Structure 1
Amino acid sequence: MGAHLRRAGCGALDGDAWKAHGSGHHVSSADPAREVISDSPAPAAPTGTPQTRIWLILPAVQFAAFWAVWQWVAQRLVDIPENITGAVALFVAVGLVVRAVSRGEIAVPRMGIPIALMIAYAVSYPFVPPHIGAGLAMASIGFLLGSMMGAGIRAGLVGLLVLALPIIPSMQTHIGYPMRVAGAVVVSWWLHLLGFVVVPEGTCLRWGTNLVLIDEPCSGVKMLWSALVLSCALAGWSGLNGRRTLAAALGATAVVFAANILRETSLFLLQAVGRGTAEDPMHMFLGLAVFGVAAIAIAWMVSALAAPSLKAASTQGDCQAECAHDGPSNNRATSGKKPVLLAMLAVCAVAALVPLLPLTGGVDLGARAAFPGWPVEFDGAALTQLPLGSMERRYYSSMAGHVARFGDGHNQIVLRWLGARDPKFHLSERCYRAYGYTITRQPGLLDDQGRRWGVFDASLKGEKVRVRERVWDTNGQQWTDEAAFRWDMFWRRPVGPWWSATIVETTVP
């Protein structure tokens, strides 16, 4: 009985390095130019050796090189504390690495892809948003660690590390908004079948005189993030290769979209009978129940994807055990890696130095308009300019344009003027949330002048205010949703200038 075994070098052995048919054979590497196959069983031996374990220092060097990324992550956590959710993905990724190290599954790393990603990080650093550079950094670390642990966890590990970044707000802007628009269209189809006359308007559903907003919490972005973390974790644990992990992630995305449509439809029906507000326990129960069903579907899907590869994974494990003690091959592989190692260290040095260089870049913000000055009245009421409050000084000082606070005898009004596109621009809800206020979203408002307003209540230490805000330009366009505004700024690139009004009512119904 014979078998054919193809070998790609024991020193760089991982799940992709072996393709075998049959089992119970031992490979002898006494002759480097020839492979001798023996039917005698191989002694059990760990794959992690001192020669391979020392390579674990390399990810630490990478970590130090990306110091600017960790500085950005820390600032994001301070500005938006809810970003700490990413620690869940990081914890799972660390668990996969610890599991592989404890089992001795360590090989000499493959540095081609990590080096390419680090070069991309260094070259693009002055020109791309920070979360893009952070994604390149995390992917580089993930590919390096994954190549040491085996292809079975590589793709899942890369996905988990990228998802560990504080990217949910960016996902809300670039993914959440189109998900909400698409969700409004699909939900309207289902409601038509149930007899409701509903018309989708952007991220809203118009039902008679009511305008029901599909807001950010109902966009499904957080559910999508959780589903991707779950699929990557299960894929890494089950040893799925890159293509199967990608299939699991795409399947999880489809499952989440369908589940979120079910949730949005159910919430509309609850609101139709006077329930389904953010404070209603049914709101949270529906979200948890729908995600529970989606999680079961994702787990089943990953299990189905893993089943065909279990036998192959077992064979690869046998091959790794047979060749783990092959010292000469490990030494040859290690010595052959020295030029690549030097290149890796050089690229790490460049990546660490680039953020310190006086480079300029960024997005072309377009021509800047001239500031026309502040209005003397607003909605027929005379305005009295007031000093900026602590919140305005803290969160608006770094933005382009102009900001001022006014009183009209009843409410406080914060006006902002933006003469050119500014990636830092955001609506006041984020400022209130970062300042420690508890936010409760309210239905949108359409006033007698046809202007739309986003409305929310903010409470902190017994103080409660109602805030309504909107953004508009001189061409008649208006926005009440930050994600919609930022989406248009990024993709449609309209020409300003823009005005923003935030009205703070101290008397809350």
Structure 2
Amino acid sequence: MSLASLAQTHPRVIDWGIRLDRAPAAGWLSLQAGALSPHWIWMARRMHDGSDDPLGLLALAALAVLVWRFRSELRPAPRLGWLAIATFGTLCAALLRTGAGPLPSLPALAAALLAVLALACGLLAFLPRRVAALPMLAMLALPWLSSLQFYAGYPLRVITAEASRWLLMTGFNVAREGSSLLVDGQLVIVDAPCSGVQMAWFGYFTACVVALWSERDGRSFLARLPAVGLLVLGGNIARNSVLVALEAAAHAPPGWLHDGFGLAVLAGVCAGIAWVMVASAGGRRVDTAF
């Protein structure tokens, strides 16, 4: 049956379709957020019980500011490609959270990842086309810093310790043992906070926020991510090397100076990342098929 004949024989179906297509963005997104509420509850509990840092709230706040910024430009009719992906992702996140029927049950964190990606796709269905999909901050909203620290923390500490050894060996007798440094006979441990996981989170958060603010297209954003990684790694190595050198020289800084220096390096890294994201800002987002 053609669309014209359907309009003649069942005009109410066409009217319902038009109303559904023109439903306000707030209605669609509220329904999607409600369907994914078990994941939000789990994320809130994980942040509240102290098992993870609540930095995801910062990413959610940035997403809210993004939607508020484009509130007058939200599409009256969603882009069906993104809406279909959002709907499919929402169903998968809901079903795989509990392992309904023959489906396997995903770990809570993996299911929450599906949920935040589905919500990001729902937002993209209504946001203007010039808002890039890649820097949408969705993955940064997850409470997974403790998981990243568990799986990636030790390799990052080893890399940091080895790079610091090369930097310090011009002025000290340095040897590395695992993630620890033996500097002039003094053992200095490169502990978990020195792995750079939190610095990486803030670095990529800065990259996403600046890319969205400057309306950088997805391809240009992706091309700058290696520079972001190098800035984060270099900043963490520099911070660790200076602090180890001070401790090895019997000039261990007090706690407030240690933290202050770390914050200063973090600010410098984030400033560098922001500059990388806005430099040569000639690439604007090109309309996509979705």
Match among 199, 206, 211 for residue 230 of structure 1: 206
Q: What's 1:130 paired with?
A: 108
How many angstroms apart in 1 are the aligned matches of 2:203 and 2:269?
8
Q: What's 2:227 paired with?
A: 251
Whether contact under 8 Å (1:227, 1:256) holds in the other structure is: yes
Aligned partner letter, 2:130: G
How many angstroms apart in 2 are the aligned matches of 1:175 and 1:105?
40
Whether contact under 8 Å (2:43, 2:142) holds in the other structure is: yes
| Deviation at residue 99 of structure 1 after TM alignment | 0.8
Aligned residue runs from structure 1 range 365-404, under 5 A = none
Q: Does 1:140 align with 2:118?
A: yes
Secondary structure in structure 1 of the residue aligned to 2:133:
helix
Q: What's 1:161 paired with?
A: 138
Q: What's 1:203 paired with?
A: 179
Q: What's 2:78 paired with?
A: 108
How many angstroms apart in 2 are the aligned matches of 1:309 and 1:207?
47
Aligned residue runs from structure 1 range 354-373, under 5 A = none
Q: What's 1:303 paired with?
A: 278
Q: What's 1:271 paired with?
A: 247
| Deviation at residue 100 of structure 1 after TM alignment | 0.9
How many angstroms apart in 2 are the aligned matches of 1:89 and 1:153?
16
Aligned partner letter, 1:266: V
| Deviation at residue 124 of structure 1 after TM alignment | 4.3
How many angstroms apart in 2 are the aligned matches of 1:116 and 1:170?
27
RMSD (Å), alpha carbons: 2.6
How many angstroms apart in 1 are the aligned matches of 2:252 and 2:73?
49
Secondary structure in structure 1 of the residue aligned to 2:216:
coil
How many angstroms apart in 1 are the aligned matches of 2:31 and 2:209?
25
| Deviation at residue 161 of structure 1 after TM alignment | 2.6
Whether contact under 8 Å (2:182, 2:188) holds in the other structure is: yes
| Deviation at residue 207 of structure 1 after TM alignment | 2.5
Q: Whose strand proportion is higher, 1 or 2?
A: 1
**Structure 2: 5+ residue stretches without partners:** 1-19, 100-104
Whether contact under 8 Å (2:161, 2:180) holds in the other structure is: yes
Aligned partner letter, 1:95: V
How many angstroms apart in 1 are the aligned matches of 2:121 and 2:130?
12
How many angstroms apart in 2 are the aligned matches of 1:251 and 1:152?
23
| Deviation at residue 104 of structure 1 after TM alignment | 4.5
Q: What's 1:220 paired with?
A: 196
Match among 109, 119, 127 for residue 149 of structure 1: 127
| Deviation at residue 121 of structure 1 after TM alignment | 2.9
How many angstroms apart in 2 are the aligned matches of 1:281 and 1:220?
19
Q: What's 2:165 paired with?
A: 188
Whether contact under 8 Å (1:147, 1:154) holds in the other structure is: no
Aligned partner letter, 1:308: G
Q: 1:81 to 1:220 in 2, by over 3 A?
A: same
Q: 1:108 to 1:253 in 2, by over 3 A?
A: same
Q: What's 2:16 paired with?
A: none
Q: Whose helix proportion is higher, 1 or 2?
A: 2
Aligned partner letter, 1:56: A
Match among 39, 51, 59 for residue 89 of structure 1: 59
Q: 1:143 to 1:271 in 2, by over 3 A?
A: same
Q: Does 1:178 align with 2:155?
A: yes
Q: What's 2:30 paired with?
A: 60
Secondary structure in structure 2 of the residue aligned to 1:240:
coil
**Share of identical aligned residues, percent?**
30
Secondary structure in structure 1 of the residue aligned to 2:279:
helix
How many angstroms apart in 2 are the aligned matches of 1:152 and 1:135?
24
Q: 1:248 to 1:140 in 2, by over 3 A?
A: farther
TM-score, length basis structure 2: 0.80
Q: 1:148 to 1:87 in 2, by over 3 A?
A: same
Whether contact under 8 Å (1:146, 1:157) holds in the other structure is: no
How many angstroms apart in 1 are the aligned matches of 2:241 and 2:207?
25
Pick which of 106-115 and 137-146 moved more: 106-115
- Number of aligned positions between the proteins: 261
Aligned partner letter, 2:271: I
Q: 1:63 to 1:149 in 2, by over 3 A?
A: same
Q: What's 2:265 paired with?
A: 290
Whether contact under 8 Å (1:151, 1:239) holds in the other structure is: no
| Deviation at residue 129 of structure 1 after TM alignment | 2.6
| Deviation at residue 120 of structure 1 after TM alignment | 4.5
How many angstroms apart in 2 are the aligned matches of 1:130 and 1:200?
37
How many angstroms apart in 1 are the aligned matches of 2:262 and 2:182?
23
* Higher Cα Rg, which structure: 1
Whether contact under 8 Å (1:156, 1:233) holds in the other structure is: no
Aligned residue runs from structure 1 range 37-76, under 5 A = 52=22, 54-76=24-46
Whether contact under 8 Å (1:145, 1:154) holds in the other structure is: no
Aligned partner letter, 1:233: V
